[in-house]
Amino acid sequence: MKRILMIVAGAMLASAAQARPAIVVHNAPGVRVSYADLDLHSVAGRGALMGRVRLAAETLCLANGREPVAVSLDRIRCFHGTVQAGAAQMNRIAR
**pLDDT at res. 43:** 94
Q: For 15, phi and psi rounded to 5 degrees?
A: -80, 160
List, in sequence order, the alpha helices (H) in the chain. 43-61, 69-94
Cα pseudo-dihedral 83, 73, 8, 86, rounded to 10: 10
pTM of the model: 0.66
Tens-digit pLDDT profile for residues 72-93: 888 899 899 889 988 998 888 8
pLDDT of residue 8 exceeding 90, the answer is no
Tens-digit pLDDT profile for residues 18-69: 444 444 555 667 778 888 898 999 999 999 999 998 988 888 888 767 788 8
Separation between Cα atoms, residue 34 and residue 4, nearest integer Å: 4
Separation between Cα atoms, residue 86 and residue 8, nearest integer Å: 9
pLDDT of residue 2 exceeding 90, the answer is no
Separation between Cα atoms, residue 53 and residue 80, nearest integer Å: 11
CB 46 within 8 A of CB 92: no
**pLDDT at res. 12:** 38
